[in-house]
Amino acid sequence: MSDQRYPEGFIPAPEQDCSRYKQAGYWQERNLGQWLSHWASQYGSNTALTDQQHRLSYQQLDHQASRLAAGLYQAGIRQGDKVLVQLPNCASFVILTFALFRIGAWPIMAMPAHREKDIVALCQQAEPVAYVLPDRFLGYDYHSLADQARASCSSLKHIIVDGETDTWLSLSDFDHEPLPAETLSQPQYTDVALLLLSGGTTGTPKLIPRTHADYAYNAIASAELCGLSEQSVYLAALPVGHNFPLACPGILGTLSAGGNVVMARTPGSDETFPLIESEKVTVTALVPPLAQLWLSAREWDDSDLSSLKLLQIGGSRLDPEVARQITPVLGCKLQQVFGMAEGLLCYTRLDDPEEVVINTQGRPLSSHDQVRVVNSAGHPVQAGETGELQTKGPYTIHGYYKADSHNATTFTADGFYQSGDLVRMTPEGNIVVEGRIKEQINRAGEKIAVAEVEQLLNEHPDIESCVLVPVPDERLGERSCAFIITSGAEFYLHHLQYYLSDKGLPRYKQPDQLEQVSHWPLTTVGKIDKQRLIRQALQSDAQQTAHPV
């Protein structure tokens, strides 16, 4: 492995760790494209993938991925090239992802909700050669995003639309007779496979380089832990570019076990309940606010959900009272998942006592995951005390892609990722998430970097200063509230939202609540008292009959 040359901007695990993970059998010598061929040879005629228009067997999925890989290769896309992928939940997302794995190009997993600001920032950071996007999704026409990306990113050679387009090439134009595997440059198992996005705490989304070996392990070990098999039918309800539905165990884990992945375009009960009934879905993953919506929907919906055996919930804090209702109302087991795109995954186990499943976020996936809980000085806390979670292990990154200065403050000298999450460990070794120290708002599982929004608000000519705070919210877990001091002008929430939309900020990052103040409340040491602002936001919201979420 020592003679392997890594691309600039990628920090691999230290060589000693690589050998340990390899020896322990965690890292296997196969890239994810080869894994798909392996699964196709094992599970050939099983159904692998289902969406509104497709029902593909493992052999068909394998073949289609090879055809698209050949087409992309013929168009000049090569190993190490980046391809910005912004597709909704559909079969072509999976075919494309495996096609890129096969040629060693790196998909950058953008979300359908992203708008100009993130897309342009990603293009500038990663310099992708291609951008694959839908024609329309949920009423939004993506053509203008394509125009903006093309105008601001000179590296982009191909804009590829999955659907109808008069302007750009369509994904179906890249269909080609498969090329022999030797022609395509086969990536090594230790090479980067894909770039996931981090919610981050700063203005630009951070890119998380996951390798073929670590991501295959992530998915396969998760599938084993969740007991997936050829009988499993996984419903991809959350956006598929996110780590949770992609590989925890999600799409990749289900395929590793010979099961069927069913795509739901949206996660609401109106679309997912009929799919659970008709496709006999056995397992799916949700964020807590969606789980709550599903619970409420059961009050009037009587779809047959009896096939559903396991509901995974993660991404943000799950209220134990909500957790307690899952099995009685939905008739399936609950599994809590505390994960991060940077790596570490904690799961409650299927045979854990009920109180563990309801009150904790489980324990690490791998016996080689190292987790420590430290105080603000970086020293381990006493057993059972709360502190910051730091971690290192066989599928946790050692650095963000091309982010030297950020890496210097986010990783310790001995290679641990500082998660910014406040946790405590129970005597049995389960983790309980108590809060966080990172400047981030967790809105229904979607992460908002406080600094990014504050920076845009500060650029507004009438805003003198601003502070964005997370406010506890029954529906979203947390909503964002912007406090502003203005030069006298009166502001309404929708003005702010128009302004931020215009700056290319996606809806989920825009404030849900606005409060205008004349001065900042200060703590005894003279910092802005954010706790007081949060209390004020709650009070002011309670006084309004309808709150503007």
Residues that bind ligand OOB (CB under 6 A): 198-199, 243-244, 248, 314-317, 336-341, 345, 361, 419, 421, 433, 436, 442, 445, 447
Q: How far is the CB of 181 from ligand OOB (least distance, A)?
A: 31
Contact 234, 219 (CB under 8 A): no
Contact 319, 288 (CB under 8 A): yes
Closer to ligand OOB by Cβ: residue 435 or 461: 435
Helix, strand, coil percentages (3-state) for the chain, rounded to 5, are: 35, 25, 40
Closer to ligand OOB by Cβ: residue 108 or 337: 337
What is the C-alpha separation between 519 and 517, in angstroms, rounded? 6
Q: How far is the CB of 196 from ligand OOB (least distance, A)?
A: 7
Pairing of strands 343-347, 82-85: unpaired
The amino acid present at 29, given as its one-letter code, is E
Closer to ligand OOB by Cβ: residue 430 or 536: 430
Q: Is the dihedral of CA 57, 63, 65, 68 positive or negative?
A: negative
Q: How far is the CB of 243 from ligand OOB (least distance, A)?
A: 4
Q: How many residues are present in the chain? A: 549
Q: How far is the CB of 194 from ligand OOB (least distance, A)?
A: 14
What is the C-alpha separation between 398 and 410, in angstroms, rounded? 10
Q: How far is the CB of 491 from ligand OOB (least distance, A)?
A: 30
SS3 category, 331: coil
Strand partners, 345: 339
Looking up tokens 């603000």 gives 376
Closer to ligand OOB by Cβ: residue 294 or 499: 294
Closer to ligand OOB by Cβ: residue 33 or 445: 445
The amino acid present at 376, given as its one-letter code, is S
What is the C-alpha separation between 178 and 66, in angstroms, rounded? 5
Q: How far is the CB of 248 from ligand OOB (least distance, A)?
A: 4
Q: How far is the CB of 322 from ligand OOB (least distance, A)?
A: 12
Q: How far is the CB of 285 from ligand OOB (least distance, A)?
A: 7
Looking up tokens 């650095």 gives 399
Closer to ligand OOB by Cβ: residue 242 or 460: 242
Contact 347, 317 (CB under 8 A): no
Alpha carbons within 13 angstroms on the beta-carbon side of residue 343 total 29
Q: How far is the CB of 170 from ligand OOB (least distance, A)?
A: 31
Q: Which residue is nearest to ligand OOB (CB)?
A: 339
Q: Is the dihedral of CA 325, 327, 331, 333 positive or negative?
A: positive
Phi, psi of 202 (to 5 degrees): -120, -175
The CA-to-CA distance between both ends of the chain, in Å, stands at 52
Q: How far is the CB of 345 from ligand OOB (least distance, A)?
A: 6
Closer to ligand OOB by Cβ: residue 65 or 403: 403
Closer to ligand OOB by Cβ: residue 68 or 330: 330
Closer to ligand OOB by Cβ: residue 265 or 436: 436
**What is the Cα 89 distance to its own chain's centre?**
13
Token pair for 254: 């289900």
Closer to ligand OOB by Cβ: residue 361 or 536: 361
Token pair for 299: 């009050």
